[in-house]
Structure 1
Amino acid sequence: MAKQSVIVIGATGVTGSSIVTGLLENGSFVVIAGTRPSSASKPRVEALKARGVEIRIIDLENWTVDQIAESLNGVDTVISTIFFAEIPRQKLLVDACKKAGVKRFVPDDWATVCVRGVRQLYDQVILFDNSEWRSSRIVILVLSQKLAIRDYVKEIGISYTFIDIGWWMQLTPPLIDIKFPLPVMKKAMTSRTGSGNVKCAVTDNRDIGKFVARIIADDRTLNQYVFCWSQEVTLNETIALAERISGSKIDIENINADEMAKLVKDSSDKDRTATEYVYSLWVLGDNTVENAKKEEYGGALDARELYPDIGKELKTIEDFAKEFYSK
């Protein structure tokens, strides 16, 4: 039986790299990386070649639908993990998937559960100069026009799977050791927001590929929304865990719900990316497994229920904390 061919667009990024690794380790796929022309000879792309990954050039910025479709020839599944500012260009990719006869399209979601009207960048596009974001070590999980892309996928009539993975363990306070390009982001993401007792579903970003390999091989997930998660935690639990493992008292600023709501209201468009996420996660409590299954949140299938044995493969927040504090 022929292996399913899968192209990962954005394969050298954090999410894309995790997916490529998961597919390769699974062994049931022909793995292809879609890269822009300017990146084709970069070391990270060469490293993919060395791992047996086929490289195809795809230029969403300058190519026509026909040109993109040609690069998708013979591909069964297309997985998008492109840079967030380029997400609106996925409409071209959707058109190309239909033209090329792709059997399943997975758009660039990979984030937290939400509903309309909570996160501006969940609902619509905010344009700004992204040069400082590209040079930063932080990866901002923005879903620009996420719902619009999902609507377009359904409208055009191609088969799909929508996948969210909750909040990264790597960005769960106070287990953070990265540079923030904006002061408001550091404040919002390194504080005890609200009561500290709101549950949030988290996943180690290195485990994303383990879920994806299962999902795209599963007919039950075709034309469905799937929510992946490793564990549900609260801020108070993560703070206590960090203090226990590090052996040190951690100084945490407290921001109550009203203060956080004001911070969101007063944020600029660029700052709002972080503040709305934090408000959604730790005050409103949107990002839970229970919510993901609700119709108003998309009616997701629970990946942990689909694959009950996957739990033994996943890192816990304690695993991550031990690794973090051993550095």
Structure 2
Amino acid sequence: MSTITKVALAGARGNIGGPVLDQLLKAGFQVTVLTREGGSATFPSAVTVKHVDYDSVESLTAALQGQDALVVTITTSAIGKEYNLIEASIKAGVKRFIPSEFGSDTFNEKLSKLPGYKAKVDIHEALRKAARESSLTWTSVVNGPFLDWGISASFLLNAKDRTIEYPDGGNHQFSATTLESIGKAVAGVLKNPEQTKNRPVYVQDVAITQRQLGDLVKKFVGADGWKETVSSIDEAVQQVWDEVKKAEPNPGPVFFGTLKAAIWGGDAYNSRFQKLDNELLGIKGLSPAELEAVVAKNIPK
């Protein structure tokens, strides 16, 4: 595969989009940001900005002309827009498509069957079909939960309110990655197009248990006054299936129950990745001291 130099980015202002944009620019790619028509977001002067209608394949195709790759970092709630982006990429002759994956191992057989990830699994199939029928190739970046954001946004635990949940006792290791490293992984994929062709890549900054993460946070905020609960992954998964059987399922519990199994469910869900592409993609991982620094920096004030 020829060298990738021109990269389009859809969703450049989200939690992932900003760090990905930063790392693409640092790596020397020529970046074009796709943004909604009428949008008011501003971007670095080195970036070309094209306003698009995500509901129009024609609009997207025109914007993608001349691009070697498309990286999609749109939110999960808008993942359906990727079908138009795939079609437009094929028509525009884009070589590599990186979908809005950036999470747990949805290629794991057990996890892929959970309904909370159906939308992402369907995108996998659409990309496989595109790769069979056109010159478009794909790579999915699998990185586990966002370590820094997961602390600062009180997702992995709530340091401010001092609450923490220990799924299955909190002793299963899970892979986690900082937003900066995820951006570096994307750039690494595009620098190594042949080695990353038509497959998921797996990266992590650290493999850690929920107990270990809780202990690290307590080191900086104190160990007193915490509300700790222990939950069951099997029960969470059963609640997901019970919810989808309802006449009008609530998508929130379905998604978050699936996510709980994905992150903290252990080896059955490949929560700690068994094989890594860190070396290929230039991800060094965090030393114990660096891990402590990330935790300390991201504890909400």
1:3 and 1:149 mapped to 2: Cα distance? Answer: 23
Aligned pair partner of 2:199 in 213, 221, 224? 224
Contact 1:230/1:316, CA 8 A, preserved across alignment:
no
Residues 3 and 30 of structure 1 are in contact (CA less than 8 Å); yes or no, is this contact kept in structure 2?
A: no
Q: CA deviation at 1:51?
A: 3.7
> Quick check: 1:54 aligned with 2:48?
yes
3-state secondary structure, aligned to 2:7: strand
Residue 310 of structure 1 and its aligned partner are, at CA, apart by 3.3
Q: Who is 1:37 aligned against?
A: 37
Per-residue displacement from partner, 1:67-94 (whole Å, max 9, x unpaired)?
3211101101101111222212212211
1:95 to 87, 103, 108: 87
Q: For residues 106-154 of structure 1, give each alpha carbon's deviation from its aligned partner in whole angstroms, at most 9, with x where no partner exists.
A: 111111114355431212xxxxxxxxxxxxxxxxxxxxx1121111112
Mapping of 1:226-305 within 5 angstroms?
A: 226-249=201-224, 251-257=226-232, 259-261=235-237, 263-264=239-240, 268-285=250-267, 286=269, 287-290=271-274, 293=275, 302-305=276-279
| Contact map agreement 1:200 1:281 (CA 8 A) in 2 | yes
Deviation at 1:236, TM superposition (A): 0.7
**2:172, 2:96 → 1: CA distance?**
35
| 1:211 equivalent in structure 2 | 185
User: Relative to structure 1, is the Cα distance of residues 53 and 176 closer, same or farther in structure 2, using a 3 angstrom cutoff?
Assistant: closer
Could you say which residue in structure 2 is the equivalent of 1:166? 144
1:207–1:314 Cα contact (<8 Å) kept:
no
Tell me the distance in 1 between the aligned counterparts of 2:126 and 2:219: 47
Taking the aligned partners of 1:149 and 1:52, their CA distance within structure 2 comes to 31
- Aligned partner letter, 1:204: T
Q: RMSD in angstroms over aligned alpha carbons?
A: 3.0
CA distance in 2, matches of 1:314, 1:55: 40
- Unaligned ranges ≥5, structure 1: 124-144, 180-186, 294-301
1:34 is displaced (CA, Å) by 0.4
TM-score (norm 1): 0.76
Query: How far is the alpha carbon of 1:259 from its aligned partner?
Result: 5.0
TM-score by length of 2: 0.82
1:187-245: per-residue Cα shift (whole Å, max 9, x none)? 9x941111211010001123311111111111311222111211000011011111122
SS in 2 for 1:242: helix
Q: Counterpart of 1:57 in 2: which secondary structure? A: strand
Separation in structure 1 between the aligned mates of residue 4 and residue 287 of structure 2, nearest angstrom: 23
Q: Supply the distance in 2 between the matched residues of 1:35 and 1:78 (Cα, whole angstroms).
A: 13
Residue by residue over 1:144-198, the C-alpha shift from the partner in whole angstroms, topping out at 9 and shown as x without a partner, is: x1121111112122211111221111465xx45559xxxxxxx9x9411112110
Runs of at least 5 residues in structure 2 that lack an aligned partner in the other structure = 156-160, 244-249
Q: 1:161–1:226: 8 Å Cα contact kept in structure 2?
A: yes
Which residue number in structure 1 is paired with residue 247 of structure 2? Answer: none
How many residues align? The count is 278
Indicate the SS of the match to 1:288.
coil
Q: Distance in 1 between matches of 2:53 and 2:17?
A: 17
Indicate how the Cα distance of structure 1 residues 171 and 18 shifts in structure 2: closer, same or farther if over 3 A, else same.
closer
2:74 matched residue in structure 1: 82
CA distance in 1, matches of 2:31, 2:287: 21
Letter of the 1:304 counterpart = N
Deviation at 1:103, TM superposition (A): 1.1
Does 2:168 correspond to 1:194?
yes
> 1:105 is aligned with what amino acid?
F
Q: Which region of structure 1 is more displaced relative to structure 2, 275-284 or 308-317?
A: 308-317
